[in-house]
């Protein structure tokens, strides 16, 4: 089998959109588990069960606990699923227009070829942005198929973005990821990115983000020569 990292082609659209959807949605369960296992949420769950029990209704206790856990799962699901739906109708609907229409932008895919077939197993994009008198790049849509992880592909694609940034005279590469994506955070730290900011501003309603306990991490890597 041969792995090739190349620029996006229009024929990749369906495969890329499918990989994007699957890659983002897989964070729903980890987000839920991380939330309900937190000390605060364990306490809330126990308190709700105790309230129902003290009211003399075991079934009521179960309903309260199930309702609470259902709310947390709903928020985690909607946070990621609505993000996918939004982006599929925006930049991921017109990838050439969003990521290939300017010299400072690019979109790559990692394609595995074998047995006469090819399959897109990874992707990443970068958008050049102007800030004052400096240009920097923002990394987007880094997704690696679960079957290709822990094989160095993420590092290779991240380095592709860094090398592109150097060619385009960017001062730095910035990105945002969620606290749930621990493997991605570890990868970026390994590649020299530093955590510079945390916030909870997402496309979802503020209360929903609070319930999920998901934090958005901003990271950056200086690449000025």
Contact 8, 99 (CB under 8 A): yes
Domains of the chain by residue range: 2-6+104-222
Contact 87, 20 (CB under 8 A): yes
d(CA 96, CA 101): 6
pLDDT at 56 over 70: no
Q: Using one digit for the tens of pLDDT, what is the confidence trace for 69-89? A: 999 999 999 999 999 999 999
Q: Using one digit for the tens of pLDDT, what is the confidence trace for 193-219? A: 999 999 999 999 999 999 999 999 999
Residue 52 pLDDT: 80
pLDDT at 116 over 80: no
**91 Cα distance to chain centroid:** 15
Q: Using one digit for the tens of pLDDT, what is the confidence trace for 11-38? A: 999 999 999 999 999 999 999 999 999 9
DSSP state of 8: -
Please state the φ and ψ torsions of residue 55, each to the nearest 5 degrees: -80, 0
Contact 131, 120 (CB under 8 A): no
In CATH, the number for domain 2-6+104-222 is 3.40.630.30
Per-residue CA distances from 205 to 27, 34, 212, 222 (Å): 18, 20, 11, 33
Residue 82 pLDDT: 96
Q: What is the mean pLDDT of residues 152-170?
A: 96
- What's the pLDDT band for 156 if we cut at 50, 70, 90? very high
The three-class DSSP label of residue 111 is strand
Number of H helices, E strands in the chain: 8, 7
């Amino acid at each position: 089998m041969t792995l090739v990292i190349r620029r996006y082609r229009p024929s990749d659209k369906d495969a890329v959109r499918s990989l994007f959807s699957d890659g983002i949605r897989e964070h729903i369960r980890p987000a839920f588990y991380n939330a309900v296992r937190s000390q605060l949420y364990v306490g809330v769950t126990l308190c709700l069960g105790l309230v129902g029990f003290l009211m003399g209704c075991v079934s009521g206790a179960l309903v309260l606990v199930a309702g609470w856990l259902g709310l947390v799962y709903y928020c985690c699901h909607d946070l990621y699923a609505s993000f996918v739906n939004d982006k599929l109708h925006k930049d991921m609907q017109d990838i050439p227009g969003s990521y290939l229409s300017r010299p400072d932008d690019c979109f790559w895919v990692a394609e595995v070829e074998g047995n006469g077939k090819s399959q897109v197993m990874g992707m990443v994009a970068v958008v050049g942005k102007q800030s004052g008198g400096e240009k920097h790049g923002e990394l987007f849509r880094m997704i690696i198929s679960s079957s290709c992880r822990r094989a160095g592909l993420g590092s290779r694609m991240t380095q592709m973005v860094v090398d592109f940034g150097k060619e385009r005279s960017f001062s730095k590469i910035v990105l945002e990821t969620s606290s749930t994506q621990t493997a991605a955070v570890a990868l970026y730290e390994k590649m020299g990115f530093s955590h510079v900011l945390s916030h909870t501003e997402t496309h979802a309603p503020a209360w929903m983000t609070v319930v999920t306990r998901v934090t958005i991490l901003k990271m950056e890597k200086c690449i000025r020569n």
